[in-house]
Structure 1
């Protein structure tokens, strides 16, 4: 089968050799260690604690929730005492109110855990409720609540469910190992999702640099008519939702629209596995697989962790850092193209924590920034067809209107422009910062408009009431 792809993009060294052959190992938190559960681990409204300091919690117990439409509950991954509710740093750099549980080491589970169901005997609403009730969100990075994604408006029929198995970020291999070790369960999770959309077909998109994964997943799909594996060209950002849709279906998702508008739902490999676990095993999202890599770590590999562990405890559990010339000088949460740099390991692991990269001075080296040489490479390689040099100029002079006019809000923050820039301009960084500012302005304007409309409606209703 021909490998498919999208226009433009970049080809960074993949760096996956450090961990791709390392089977997934389970890392358990130490007794008496503290685990942190931030109230915001997904796109949408944050949760609120439903436990108090001094409470004893068990594995699988819901400890935070919200009645908001776009939200997912949070569960304790260990048993122990709630010792605090306070702000904690998360990988994205924000301080988020968090429930702190001191692990008692007993791993006591709540009653009713591990009670699975036959998805074929469940209604669509029961499946969606179970996925929501298990706290499943997109584990590829964005953290969009999965039950919402799987239930688009009735006027947007779905004919493709695409599994993002590209894992195009350099160094990360956690999804790759899951495909080798849990291929049958991944396919089962996709079958559950397809029950919600019986007219759709499931396509598992895997880059050509993962031949063993292509082989394993193809074998797991044998005899299933509506699921197949689609090889993809090895290129970044092949795993972006919009570009995966273009590559596999040829359809374009318009600016500001969701994948469902193109008849597609896109989910990550580990997300599909979380769906299978929620339905078949009856377990909520309490764990994920994380790649720890880079020459600065003693034992690079793929580790199954309990959510809430700090990255410091995780590094200690896998053997710690190398020393002297191989000591890490840069830590990155996630992949090197899009992951944020960390200034401390006292950070909570959350649902979207896919990796921790520990780069030595050699690996982390970036040449000094120079003046733009007008080469146009950032334009040639931008997967969104934008003009990063122009967006960078708008960002540097604080021209928000110009930034928006040049479609800066359509930037997917992939970093391809910075990677290809021979002058090593900090294009992606400046665009990302300005995009955040302009998105904030847009949200504030929308909130003000809603408030004004509500006030006018209330005034009109009061006037009508006064007349009567």
Structure 2
């Protein structure tokens, strides 16, 4: 399969603007005055802070533990002192804040103790855990955790190494392949061993001849390794598009390359894996392209957490620069502010000017020319998605496979009406996600309400069962004893079928029994009453008899006769 090329439908060929920055070798950016290291390096996961202000840290020391399945560790890019742990602005179109660890470098660049990881004599699970703890993520822009991607590696036949770098202006991967091809290939072979693939295919756009030559020289006569030039057509560097070009496999929406026996990694990720396994170094820096309306375009190796305004001074933006883009002009975004840090997914900073990037033309009505459909690499109908998104008919947009859109921007690039189509698609997607979240919250609330009602009914039934059992017990006891009040028995029997009435009848029966036991008797009633009353009467009689007997030492007139009376209450 190595060497045979396939095609994908759609795509565009914009001006590459690669030569502006590709000619300069990679330079190491100077150490900034402070580093703001976000604990959230991607939208998918964050890390738990394990340092506190005032603490001394070494270069490569872990400052954030991974949380969740998609979490990876975060490390100190240099040695110094933790100045603060708080919320700072992040590199995102929203300009919102995220939790960061602010480090003041001491300039000594003292490393932690680190050593190679012998993945050949350790289990695969240990190797994946090592990559997670080294903070290895995809450096192509998506920052997807490498250990998760490798964990889906059962049944993988082909490992694709993505060196296409199709978006205009970006050259960081190109320079990395030119200068560090051997390390990239060593990391790719480690990935191949960990994933169990049979062959390794490196795809590079044919507008990078120096990178192709360097990677072929590094591959040499390695078995099962091929370096394949692919046509320079945007977005050939998209994962699904590159897999289709190199293998002919078309991966539908909702499926992954691993489902079809192929997995894809960026060349920058392979280099980071090499550093983590062979040298034991966590991911604390990356190559960033500085280009556009600048005096000194090029590529710099930048520590994660470096403020972008410090970094731009190296390139020297020209006075007419009016905005700054992070990423490429097709899929990147304008930075709302410059005091945001470089993160692991920051591959390019473009200084824009009205001459290089003219202001967008006014949006005009869609003329249904079909140019967007012909340019769409996902083979969608963008003009239909536009109408449904604009009309907020999100159900219909989903029927037309809205979520198959990779937001590459090809449709908006060729639109003669200058409609920002991708913005409409992003709006529709965000609305659908928001409604799904609301629906999920409503479903959870309904489930809680229904369970509450079920619990109340269950408790009511259990209480009724207890009352019925107690009523039956009372009925059996009363039926086995002489009735204290004959009129009460029919009411108890009639209430036996109703637990509440049975309980009331039982209480009435007990009250009547107690009342009958202590009710007053008529003075003419000869019946003695209760045993206590009988004992009291006998005691009084004995006292009266004793008082009536004459004293032995005295003689006197007879005492008046004492008559006993029936005691009254």
The 3 A distance-change label for structure 1 pair 211 and 457 is farther
C-alpha separation in 1, matches of 2:186 and 2:50 = 33
> Which region of structure 1 is more displaced relative to structure 2, 269-278 or 38-47?
38-47
1:392-441 C-alpha deviation (Å, 9 max, x unpaired):
22222222222222211121111111111111111011212221232343
The 3 A distance-change label for structure 1 pair 104 and 328 is same
C-alpha separation in 2, matches of 1:147 and 1:350 = 19
Task: Determine if contact 2:162/2:237 at 8 Å carries over to the other structure.
Answer: yes
Residue of structure 1 equivalent to 2:422:
428
Pick aligned residue for 1:338 from 317, 331, 347 = 331
Residue of structure 2 equivalent to 1:321:
317
Residue of structure 1 equivalent to 2:290:
292
Pick aligned residue for 1:26 from 15, 28, 46 = 28
> Which region of structure 1 is more displaced relative to structure 2, 201-210 or 64-73?
64-73
Task: Determine if contact 2:63/2:74 at 8 Å carries over to the other structure.
Answer: yes
C-alpha separation in 2, matches of 1:446 and 1:42 = 24
Root mean square deviation of aligned Cα:
2.4
C-alpha separation in 1, matches of 2:216 and 2:412 = 36
Q: Count residues with an aligned counterpart.
A: 455
Residue of structure 2 equivalent to 1:250:
248
1:99 deviates by: 1.4
1:105-160 C-alpha deviation (Å, 9 max, x unpaired):
222222x22x1134433332222121111000011111110000011175xx1111
Structure 2 SS opposite 1:99: strand
1:447 deviates by: 6.6
> Which region of structure 1 is more displaced relative to structure 2, 449-458 or 21-30?
449-458
Task: Determine if contact 1:311/1:345 at 8 Å carries over to the other structure.
Answer: yes
Residue of structure 1 equivalent to 2:401:
407
TM-score (norm 1): 0.91
Task: Determine if contact 2:48/2:67 at 8 Å carries over to the other structure.
Answer: no
Residue of structure 1 equivalent to 2:371:
377
Pick aligned residue for 1:173 from 168, 171, 174 = 171
| Long gaps (5+) in structure 1 | none
1:270 deviates by: 0.5
Task: Determine if contact 2:5/2:246 at 8 Å carries over to the other structure.
Answer: no
C-alpha separation in 1, matches of 2:352 and 2:276 = 35
The 3 A distance-change label for structure 1 pair 242 and 454 is farther
C-alpha separation in 1, matches of 2:50 and 2:109 = 20
Structure 2 SS opposite 1:364: coil
Q: Does 2:62 match 1:62?
A: yes
1:384 deviates by: 0.8
Task: Determine if contact 1:164/1:266 at 8 Å carries over to the other structure.
Answer: yes
1:367 deviates by: 2.7
Task: Determine if contact 2:4/2:246 at 8 Å carries over to the other structure.
Answer: no
C-alpha separation in 2, matches of 1:81 and 1:138 = 29
The 3 A distance-change label for structure 1 pair 196 and 101 is same
Task: Determine if contact 2:5/2:248 at 8 Å carries over to the other structure.
Answer: no
The 3 A distance-change label for structure 1 pair 212 and 56 is same
Residue of structure 1 equivalent to 2:101:
99
Residue of structure 1 equivalent to 2:265:
267
Residue of structure 2 equivalent to 1:236:
234
Pick aligned residue for 1:14 from 10, 13, 16 = 16
1:198 deviates by: 3.0
1:346 deviates by: 1.1
C-alpha separation in 2, matches of 1:403 and 1:393 = 9
C-alpha separation in 2, matches of 1:224 and 1:363 = 44
Structure 1 SS opposite 2:83: strand
C-alpha separation in 1, matches of 2:72 and 2:38 = 12
1:320 deviates by: 2.4
Which structure has the greater CA radius of gyration? 2
| Long gaps (5+) in structure 2 | 466-569
> Which region of structure 1 is more displaced relative to structure 2, 88-97 or 176-185?
88-97
Q: Does 2:392 match 1:398?
A: yes
> Which region of structure 1 is more displaced relative to structure 2, 419-428 or 400-409?
400-409
Task: Determine if contact 1:2/1:231 at 8 Å carries over to the other structure.
Answer: no
Task: Determine if contact 2:290/2:315 at 8 Å carries over to the other structure.
Answer: no
> Which region of structure 1 is more displaced relative to structure 2, 37-46 or 166-175?
37-46
Normalized per residue, which structure has more helix?
Answer: 2
1:343 deviates by: 2.5
Pick aligned residue for 2:190 from 192, 196, 207 = 192
1:291-317 C-alpha deviation (Å, 9 max, x unpaired):
0110x212100000000001101012x
Structure 2 SS opposite 1:282: coil
Q: Does 2:200 match 1:207?
A: no
Q: Does 2:43 match 1:46?
A: no
> Which region of structure 1 is more displaced relative to structure 2, 333-342 or 248-257?
248-257
TM-score (norm 2): 0.76
The 3 A distance-change label for structure 1 pair 124 and 444 is farther
C-alpha separation in 1, matches of 2:64 and 2:414 = 43
Q: Does 2:303 match 1:306?
A: yes
C-alpha separation in 2, matches of 1:455 and 1:165 = 53
